A and B are shown apart, each in its own frame.
Chain A
Amino acid sequence: DIVMTQSPDSLTVSLGERATINCKSSQSVLYSSNNKNYLGWYQQKPGQPPKLLIYWASTRESGVPDRFSGSGSGTDFTLTISSLQAEDVAVYYCQQYYSIPFTFGPGTKVDIK
Chain B
Amino acid sequence: EVQLLESGGDLVQPGGSLRLSCAASGFTFGSYAMSWVRQAPGKGLEWVSVISDNGGSTYYAGSVKGRFTISRDNSKNTLYLQMNSLRAEDTAVYHCARGLRGSCYSSLDYWGQGSLVTVSS
Contacts and interface: CB of A to CB of B under 8 A. Distances in A.
Given A104-B45, A104-B47, A40 B107 contact: yes
Interface in A85-113: 91, 93, 95, 97-98, 100-107
Contact of B44 (A55, A102, A106): A106
A52 B107 contact: yes
Given A1-B62, A49-B95, A49-B113, A104 B108 contact: no
Interface in B42-96: 44-47, 50, 59-62, 95
Contact of B111 (A1, A50, A107): A50
Given A52-B109, A98-B105, A93 B45 contact: yes
B106 interface: yes
Contact of B109 (A61, A93, A102): A61
Contact-residue size bin, chain A (C-beta under 8 Å from the other chain) = 20 to 34
A105 B38 CA distance: 14
Given A51-B111, A52-B109, A101 B59 contact: yes
A103 B108 contact: no
Interface of B: 35, 37, 44-47, 50, 59-62, 95, 97, 105-109, 111-114
